[in-house]
A and B are shown apart, each in its own frame.
Chain A
Amino acid sequence: MRLKIRAALTALAAISAVVAHAKEDIVIGLQLEPPHLDPTSAAAGAIDQVLYANVFEGLTRFGPDGSVNPGLAEDWEISPDGTVYTFRLQDGVQFHDGTAMTAEDVKFSLDRARAEDSLNAQKALFAGIESVEAVDPLTVRVTLKSPEGDFLFNMAWGDAVIVAPESIANIKQAPVGTGAFRFEDWVQGDRIELTRNPDYWGEPVALSSATFKFISDPSAAFAAVMAEDVDAFTGFPAPENLPQFDADPRFQVLVGSTEGETILATNNANPPLDDPGVRKAIAHAIDRQAIINGAMFGLGTPIGTHFPPHHPDYVDLTGLSGHDPEKSRALLAEAGFPDGFTTTLKLPPPSYARRGGEIVAAQLRAVGIDTEITNLEWAQWLEQVFRGKDFGLTIVSHTEPMDIGIYARPDYYFQYDNPEFQTLIETLNETADPAERSRLLRLAQRIIAEDYVNGYLFQLATPTVANARVQGLWKDAPTQATDLTGVYWLE
């Protein structure tokens, strides 16, 4: 009850703030434009960047710190064996088209995502679902094939949002969700406009409208912020300009962490990289801080394993692969390559890869490993490296949250095949006890670090530059989202 009063008071405060002060609209700059507006049928992060939590909501939702909070599900019960989740839905939720959101819509959304002809880019999130049942209009029962520790986390993804059956035909152009903002207009190549949803079931939002403007060129992004054409730019693409904004009282700079582990991915099935000794030599040849400084202008946190440093279960394993060219050369000699060897380094378009790649190549050359650098477009990278596994080394940021499970897939592009690790992940997936999960996660991080599966470089940072009076923006990016529900203007 107290919580409700407080919620009401905050709401009231938000409303009065809105009444007293004029500024209720915001223009957000983003580098990438969504290809279309259906978060449940594409991998593009840009879709969630605009729509997640603003237009679409799921049963659960991510908080600014990455925690999993109630969303359209008010609360839930989990059966003792961990296979049956009974969700109680928020009462009085309406889709933007005016129809009520009920258990049937939840069933429809989950069944659509896991159907045989589903186009969901993260279909694996739903693979463990045995059945979905609408018990009554406000109760949904999800039965899993086996216990799944990550299930509530999975349901918070943008790919698991609840959609209205009747909106599917036009969802790619005219998305209909349950969120605090409704979709208004999309001028392709330029902007997407959202307006406040007056019938929102949750706490009312301070902004009456929001415009997302798409500016891909880094220098254009700089100019747009400087000229105050945009009020905030999330994922600001010109890190070299951040000191200038920091020094300007008109702006604030937020540097947050993301779920993006940037790794020197290594083809574990490609000789001589199949030799753990060689991979260890590569790991010791790399100076992470030099890459962060040189390629990212100092933004990014060094990592020693495939896990985000801001996660409570993170283990700092950077010590296992400290920069030590001497040791690296010795390891190479031990592995039978006293004079080094030559391999390929294939780089996708982002600057962390292109700029980072040059530095990695120089550091590898210092210990005798020559790399042939090839720059690839994303489509080529997906075909050659990811699908064709035709590479020695590549640099890529794995931006999916909690994705250490990819190391349990021997056919994944870096082809790491360790039965011990595969069993561990299997156990982890079926474990719900937090303490045990934490222990297993720590163990998993250590195994891949000690096997030197990939070169672990740094956690990708995300800079946001905003007008100094804009409050409530997310600093970190636990998922690719620009949650505007808590954003407001001072004065």
Chain B
Amino acid sequence: MLGYALRRLVSLGVSLVVASLVVFLTLEVVPGDPAAYMLGINAQPDTLAALREELGLDRSRLSRYLSWVGGMLQGDFGISYTYRTPVSGMIADRLQVSLPLALYALTLSTLIAFPAGIWAARRRGSPVDAGIMGLTQLGVAIPNFWFAMLMVLVFAINLRLFSAGGFAGWETGLGAGLKSLTLPAIALALPQASILTRVMRSALLDTLSEDYIRTARAKGLTRAQALWRHALRNALIPVLTIIGLQFSFLLAGAIIIENVFFLPGLGRLVFQAIAARDLIVVESVVMLLVFAVVMVNFAVDLAYSAVDPRLRGRR
């Protein structure tokens, strides 16, 4: 187990170095000058030069790359060009929204998908199965921002049960914080739950047709017993893969939902930073997301081997 984890860690490190180079070089070639953006159309050349010097934009690419990576290794992401505050603090603030939101949505998605997928698989071909499959079709097809706006219309504008958006802040209490994340989490969870339900169902059906299930049935287990004891565990591998992918997606991909609910999350930070050419923020957030994706994959790999001991020896 330990050797396996170590091997995975090395490839993780290589991925990160490559990613940092790609991220830095890509953003270097994007046109646009952060100083010009800050100072607008009446700025005078000497003012622009003074700001560029203050931001360190007059230094060479290599020296900027090295100081960026060197800083990151020590947990220092640098100072934002536009906000002029430490990037690590900004990211930490935004993670207070994005991380709980992603976890909340993932929890909802899992809580819906597991029972629904298992139920549909057990009642394969029945009206229940057809109904669940129909709903998941709808869940995948509906754009989540549209569903979000619909929920705002119903629950915020008409029923006044929720506010139309914004984040109450954790300092106002766990309940208030969770409440302001509820509609966005549902909007995010809906398509994810639909996908996960379908994966769960087909993975279960695949394993249910395996020989060892017939053997289990032959030795006298009921259909349900065979499913719970033998099929479910084996069906979890593809499901875990999807959950891992979904978590990284939810962390970074909530940007549209963050806009609909005007939540101060990571997605909006990147969005604003790209427009303002606040390159150091964009680079750092993207690196953080790369790191998160790599770590989630690492965790999923470890989870595979927990679920399926045979995987520990391979790779």
Contacts and interface: CB of A to CB of B under 8 A. Distances in A.
Interface of A: 33, 35-36, 42-44, 116-124, 172-173, 187-191, 213-217, 219-220, 223-224, 226-227, 229, 349, 377-380, 382-384, 386-387, 400
A253 B110 CA distance: 45
Given A187-B264, A223-B149, A223-B165, A116 B46 contact: yes
B262 A379 contact: no
A117 B83 contact: no
Contact of B41 (A190, A382, A384): A382
Given A43-B38, A215-B165, A224-B165, A188 B93 contact: yes
Given A119-B39, A123-B47, A213 B166 contact: yes
What are the 10 closest A-B residue pairs judged by CB atoms, nearest first?
Answer: A43-B40, A189-B264, A379-B32, A223-B164, A35-B82, A227-B164, A190-B264, A227-B156, A217-B259, A215-B262
B38 A44 contact: yes
Interface string B166-187: 1101000000000000000000
Contacts of B40: 42-44, 121
Interface of B: 31-34, 36-44, 46-47, 50-51, 54, 82-85, 90, 93-94, 149, 152-153, 156-157, 160, 163-167, 169, 259-265, 268-269, 272, 274-277
B39 A400 contact: no
Nearest to B271: A216
Contacts of B32: 377, 379-380, 382-383
Given A189-B268, A379-B36, A119 B51 contact: yes
A217 B46 CA distance: 36
A119 B157 contact: no
Given A172-B84, A190-B166, A226-B157, A400 B42 contact: yes
Nearest to A191: B166
Nearest to A224: B164
Given A43-B38, A190-B263, A383-B36, 5 more contacts: A36-B83, A123-B43, A188-B93, A378-B275, A379-B36
Contacts of A349: 275
B167 A190 contact: yes
Contacts of A380: 31-32
A213 B262 contact: yes
Contacts of B274: 377
Contact of B37 (A173, A219, A226, A378): A378
A409 B60 CA distance: 33
A43 B41 contact: yes
Given A220-B259, A377-B32, A123 B167 contact: no
Given A220-B260, A226-B164, A379 B47 contact: no
A188 B264 contact: yes
A107 to B, nearest CB: 21
B165 A219 contact: no
Contacts of A217: 259-260, 262
Nearest to B81: A35
Nearest to A377: B275
A121 B43 contact: yes
B37 A382 contact: yes
A35 B276 contact: yes
B275 A223 contact: no
B42 A379 contact: no
Contacts of B163: 227, 229
A347 to B, nearest CB: 15
Contacts of B259: 216-217, 220
A460 B34 CA distance: 26
Nearest to B168: A190
A87 to B, nearest CB: 24
Contacts of B38: 35, 42-44, 121
Contacts of B54: 119
A124 B42 contact: yes
B79 to A, nearest CB: 11
Contacts of B164: 220, 223-224, 226-227, 229
B93 A117 contact: no
A119 B47 contact: yes
Interface centre among A35, A44, A226 (most CB of B within 10 A): A35
A28 to B, nearest CB: 13
A208 B277 CA distance: 37
A109 B253 CA distance: 44
B42 A43 contact: yes
A258 to B, nearest CB: 16
B42 A383 contact: no
